[in-house]
């Protein structure tokens, strides 16, 4: 099995066992790697209705097939589990080196199951894996944890760990690795439930490819194409910090808990302003774009704070939801979330939700530990982040995310929870990007912007075609196209920023899969696209088995009843009106029932015949 390690590492923390298992060949052929392995193993191994926070949930660390090679921007990795936020399948993507290190250690992926009796960490090498005492690390932040493990095991160790938030089971805890995070869906929370503080891998760079010379030529071609694109140089220069300007100009920057589409003084958050704070950059393994920018605050209340970010989503999450344009606070909040191990999107949206409840009088100072949640107040935002990360006072309620916090608070608070399937939405306004709204609604992991949304075609990206962002009709095929494409891209975990740098993906990436493995059909576009569709359908089947149906493919009512305000014209603006019509067409084109259940025929067509028996109870309800 050239290109593969040919085995996975299974760690059972309850039993204290560590086992190497061979990869199954049919799984390799049907799912290739990466996200394909993540959903296939979780679907097969997780009994329906397992408590996400219980001992029987599993956590997978999954690199893509080309991680650790010289191919550009394909060494990201995934955390797959059943989400404590949504109860759905969860996949969260992370950059850095850790994915490459899993492969260097001789594994295609890692499965962690069970629960330890006391805090532990895993020490993985090509010679074996040890479950080690983490008493020294429990209660410590992610920076300390990574430094301590590096001191213990040497510079060539790479770490994925949780901070205090994961230990305290904040529902949207992140896993932090180097300067990057697997933020979404609560993977860090699952590590916390297992008392698993960290996974540390020590390995030598070493992979065995089928055709190394051919692969090298493809990498050269890929680099030439990427470097010839404008996008490459823009991302290399600014990372994603231009997002605040470009999204505000067209009015899709969610502000004040998704009521407005723009910030009043958004120019204060310009890429040039971030540039002034920049002291360096960093990139994921084998990526010359190096979109990560390191910022240091030189003055004001946050002077001295240094952070490897924020990138666009975090930048937005610390400004839009609370109407804040203090740029230094975005660097400080980013660092604080990384230290505590928090998903910055869910943190920012949950805090924005609390600010609106405070404005409306649904909560008062008596509920917020005396804090005044007034728009623009970033000092209070920082206090709330600390409280959430430590589950202190009011932070204990917000640590549950908007949906659960709203249920706890009552008094109609649920109307202000900006989430889908329990996962907070991202920094793109669905009334100004309607296809993106449909993507949020039908995403298999909840309100994610990286799971098939069509924002880039709505911004003008020409493949398969650009679309008018305000139109609701005629986008269903693109939503499906993107969902399948994103699923297939994640067998090799192609970074989306690199995907946008010239036309290399269709021309080169599939050939790379073939050159790495010698499996010819991986270079066949039709076969490859089918794998993407198979992955998406299996994710859907996972969720159907958990009880999800059409009623969960929805968006907060705000988007469907309240016009998107602009600063100049409150009360005017776009509404998303045709979600139901979209769903009719979406299910039809997907080959699913009108309740959103994959049909027997579709499952058979995709080689998922073994799933039909699980869908029968839902199909016969029709």
- Shortest distance (Å) from residue 197 CB to ligand SF4: 25
Between CA 74 and CA 513 the distance in angstroms is 11
Q: Is the peptide bond before 393 cis (omega within 30 degrees of 0)?
A: no
Residue 498 or 512: the one with the smaller Cβ distance to ligand SF4 is 498
CB of 439 to ligand SF4, least distance (A): 20
Half-sphere CA count of 497, side-chain side, radius 13 A: 26
- Measured from the CB of residue 495, what is the shortest distance to ligand SF4 in angstroms? 3
Q: Which is nearer to ligand SF4, 124 or 289 (CB)?
A: 289
**Residue 201 or 287 with smaller CB distance to ligand SF4:** 287
Shortest spacing between CB 494 and ligand SF4, in angstroms: 9
Provide, rounded to whole angstroms, the least separation between the CB of residue 308 and ligand SF4.
Answer: 11
Residues that bind ligand SF4 (CB under 6 A): 73, 95, 235, 283-284, 287, 289-292, 495, 497-498
For 121-180, give the DSSP string.
EEEEETTEEEEEE-TTTTT--HHHHHHHHHHHH-TTEEEEE--HHHHTT-TTB-EEETTE
- When the beta carbons of 292 and 596 are compared against ligand SF4, the nearer one is 292
For the CB of residue 29, give the shortest distance to ligand SF4 in the complex, in Å.
27
State the nearest-atom distance from the C-beta of 37 to ligand SF4, in Å.
Answer: 20
For residue 360, the SS3 value is coil
Tally Cβ neighbours within 10 Å of residue 512.
26
Token pair of 133 as six digits? 């005492």
Nearer to ligand SF4, 283 or 439 (CB): 283
CA distance 532 to 206: 28
**For residues 100 and 373, which CB has a smaller minimum distance to ligand SF4 in the complex?**
100
Helices 142-153 and 327-340 cross at an angle (nearest 10°) of 50
Q: How far is the CB of 172 from ligand SF4 (least distance, A)?
A: 21
| C-alpha distances out from residue 260 to 72, 83, 353, 559, Å | 38, 30, 14, 11
Distance of alpha carbon 124 from alpha carbon 73, whole angstroms: 24
To the nearest whole angstrom, how small is the minimum distance from the Cβ of residue 292 to ligand SF4?
6
Evaluated on CA atoms 351, 352, 353, 359, the torsion sign reads positive
Q: State the Cα–Cα distance between residues 188 and 284, nearest whole angstrom.
A: 20
Question: How far is residue 125's CA from residue 105's CA, in Å, rounded to a whole number?
Answer: 6
Give dist(CA 93, CA 498) in Å, integer: 15
Contact 569, 579 (CB under 8 A): no
Residues 6+ apart with CB under 8 A from 350: 172, 388, 398, 401, 402, 405, 424
3-state secondary structure 502-571: CCCHHHHHHHHHHHHHCCHHHHCHHHHHHHHHHHHHHHHHHHHHCCCCHHHCCCCHHHHHCCCECCCCCC
Minimum Å gap between C-beta 204 and ligand SF4 is 22
DSSP 3-state of 454: coil
CB of 497 to ligand SF4, least distance (A): 4
Q: Which residues contact 432 (CB under 8 A, 6 or more apart)?
A: 250, 251, 252, 261, 469, 470, 564, 574
């Amino acid at each position: 099995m050239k290109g593969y390690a040919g085995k996975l590492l299974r760690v059972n923390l309850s039993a204290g066992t560590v086992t190497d298992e061979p990869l199954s060949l049919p799984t390799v052929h049907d799912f290739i790697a990466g996200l394909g392995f993540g959903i296939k193993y979780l679907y097969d191994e997780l009994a329906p209705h397992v408590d996400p926070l219980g001992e029987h949930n599993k956590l997978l660390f999954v690199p893509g097939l080309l991680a650790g090679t010289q191919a550009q921007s394909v060494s990201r990795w995934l955390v797959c589990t059943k989400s404590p936020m949504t109860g759905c399948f969860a996949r969260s993507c992370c950059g850095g080196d850790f994915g490459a290190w899993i492969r260097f250690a001789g594994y295609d992926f890692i499965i962690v199951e069970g629960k330890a009796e006391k805090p532990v960490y895993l020490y993985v090498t090509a010679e074996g894996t040890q479950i080690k005492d983490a008493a020294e690390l429990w209660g410590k932040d992610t920076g300390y944890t990574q430094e301590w493990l590096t001191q213990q095991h040497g510079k060539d160790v790479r770490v994925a760990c949780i901070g205090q938030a994961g230990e305290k089971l904040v529902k949207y805890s992140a896993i932090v690795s180097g300067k990057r995070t697997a933020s979404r869906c609560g993977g860090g929370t699952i590590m916390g439930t297992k008392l698993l503080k960290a996974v540390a891998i020590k390995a030598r760079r070493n992979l065995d490819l089928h055709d190394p010379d051919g692969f090298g030529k493809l990498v050269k071609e890929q680099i030439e194409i990427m470097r010839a694109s404008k996008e490459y140089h823009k991302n290399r220069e600014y990372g994603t910090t231009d997002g605040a300007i470009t999204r505000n100009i067209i009015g899709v920057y969610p502000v004040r808990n998704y009521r407005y589409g723009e910030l009043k003084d958004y120019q204060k958050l310009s890429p040039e302003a971030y540039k002034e704070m920049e002291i360096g950059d960093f990139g994921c393994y084998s990526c010359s774009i190096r979109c990560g920018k390191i910022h240091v605050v030189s003055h004001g209340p946050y002077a001295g704070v240094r952070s490897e970010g924020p990138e666009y989503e975090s930048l937005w999450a610390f400004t839009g939801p609370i109407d804040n344009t203090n740029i230094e606070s975005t660097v400080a909040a980013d660092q604080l979330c990384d230290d505590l191990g928090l998903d910055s999107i869910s943190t920012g949206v949950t805090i924005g939700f609390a600010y609106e409840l405070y404005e409306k009088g649904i909560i008062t100072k008596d509920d917020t530990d005396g804090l005044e949640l007034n728009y623009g107040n970033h000092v209070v935002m920082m206090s709330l982040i600390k409280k959430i990360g430590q589950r202190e006072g009011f932070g204990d309620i917000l640590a549950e995310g908007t949906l659960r916090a709203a249920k706890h608070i009552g008094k109609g608070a649920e109307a202000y929870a900006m989430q889908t399937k329990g996962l907070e939405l991202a920094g793109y306004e669905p009334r100004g990007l309607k296809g993106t709204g449909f993507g949020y609604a039908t995403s298999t992991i909840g309100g994610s912007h990286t799971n098939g949304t069509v924002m880039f075609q709505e911004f003008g990206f020409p493949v398969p075609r650009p679309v008018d962002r305000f139109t609701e009709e005629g986008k269903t095929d693109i939503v499906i196209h993107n969902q399948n494409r994103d699923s297939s891209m994640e067998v090799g975990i192609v970074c989306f920023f690199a995907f946008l740098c010239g036309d290399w993906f269709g021309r080169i990436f599939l050939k790379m899969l073939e050159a790495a493995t010698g499996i010819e059909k991986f270079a066949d576009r039709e076969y490859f696209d089918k794998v993407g569709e198979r992955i998406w359908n299996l994710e859907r089947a996972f969720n159907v088995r958990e009880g999800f149906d059409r009623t969960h493919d929805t968006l907060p009512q705000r988007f469907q009843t309240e016009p998107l305000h602009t600063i100049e014209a409150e009360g005017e603006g776009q509404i998303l009106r045709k979600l139901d019509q979209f769903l009719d067409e979406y299910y039809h084109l997907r080959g699913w029932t009108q309740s959103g259940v994959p049909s027997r025929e579709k499952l058979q067509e995709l080689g998922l015949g073994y799933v039909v028996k699980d869908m029968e109870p839902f199909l016969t309800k029709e």
